[in-house]
Amino acid sequence: MGKRYLIDSNVIIDFCNGKLSHKGRQFLEAVEPEISIVTQIELFATQNISKEEHDLLERFIAITLIHPVTADLVKTTVNIRQRHKLKLPDAIIAATAIVLNGILLSHNTSDFKNIPGLQIVDPHKL
């Protein structure tokens, strides 16, 4: 099995809005999409989402592996929250990547940079 990539909501939104570089876009198109259940919630919780964007996100979700909350995920999230000043949604996303032994794709690297065991790549910087 190849590398696993957990995609953060900011990367998905930038991809959909054409804000990723050509290399970042190519990279994202080449990975099997996986997200946290939190990312799915974040994508659709925006109040001003257009019908077109909603439909595009629905098509993305249809081909994406969505990871639910598990006992291992809860334990890892609690560990992260106890050691780092990270918002709960970000802690769950980081914990999901760690539990999966995957690489988090996020433009928000500053929030995640000091978490041991978390691999992170910013597709904007490829």
Q: Would you mind telling me the total number of residues written for the chain in this entry?
A: 126
This prediction's pTM: 0.94
* pLDDT at 1 exceeding the cut of 80: no
pLDDT in tens, 103-114: 999 999 999 989
Distance CA 25, CA 19 (A): 9
* CA dist., res. 38 & res. 47, Å (int): 16
> Taking the domains of the chain in order of start, what are their residue ranges?
5-125
The CATH number of 5-125, from 3.30.1490.390, 3.40.50.410, 3.40.50.1010, 3.10.620.30, is 3.40.50.1010
Average pLDDT on 40-57 reads: 91
Residue-wise pLDDT tens digits, 59-110: 999 999 999 999 999 999 999 999 998 999 999 999 999 999 999 999 999 9
